[in-house]
Amino acid sequence: MNTFINNNHKLNKKKVVFIIEATGTGKFRLSVDLSTHFRGEIINSNKMQVYKGLDIVTNKITHAEIQGVRHYLLGEIEPDSNFTAEDFCLKSNIYIETILKAQCVPIIVGGSNSYIEKLVEDPVFMFKHKYDGCFIWIDVEQSVLNRRVDTRVDEMVNACSFCS
């Protein structure tokens, strides 16, 4: 007689939250809200926002919007570097462990799905063996998204000291 026994509960896997979707959907705002409520720290997975500078071009979350929540890989990499999906995975694994050791929840946020896919699916990084992933996909109507993006661009241009 074959009996299936689910032993996943015995593995005591730690949770990692992913918030993904397109620019302007509010994923960073949601990640900050979740972080303040559940004692989380955020790992950015946006391919362009990992680079220093480029704040306006990439719609990077502002210092005020961060609300004191710790962020990793947000403006951390030199712009002339070639930061690959593998580099993202190597750094993310270190940051996930750092966040978990601080007894916080790792929240990975961004729209660059190739980074997330590599982290979760590549057997080299053993994500599925070590962690339980909770994926939150934000879906916004096009008209709402257009209004948010328009407002965000206006705010960024108004805040830009060299734009006028």
Tens digit of pLDDT at every position of the chain (164 positions): 444 444 555 567 899 999 887 665 566 777 777 888 889 999 999 887 788 775 555 556 656 666 778 889 988 889 899 999 999 999 999 999 999 999 999 999 987 788 999 999 998 889 999 999 988 877 667 676 667 666 666 666 666 655 55
Could you tell me the pTM of the whole model?
0.75
Residue 137 neighbours by CB under 8 Å, 6+ apart: 20, 21
In a domain, residue 4? The reply is no
Q: For the purposes of burial, counting CB atoms within 10 Å of the CB of 108, is it exposed (0-12), middle (13-18) or buried (19 or more)?
A: buried
pLDDT of residue 9: 53
pLDDT of residue 104: 95
Question: What is the residue range of 42's domain?
Answer: 13-146
pLDDT of residue 1: 46
Number of domains present in the structure of the chain: 1
In a domain, residue 158? The reply is no
Question: φ and ψ at 29, to 5 degrees?
Answer: -60, -45
pLDDT of residue 85: 93
pLDDT of residue 65: 67
In a domain, residue 5? The reply is no
In a domain, residue 61? The reply is yes
pLDDT of residue 2: 45
pLDDT of residue 116: 92
CATH number of domain containing 93: 3.40.50.300
DSSP string, 94-144: HHHHHHHHTT-EEEEEES-HHHHHHHHH-GGG-HHHHEEEEEEE----HHH
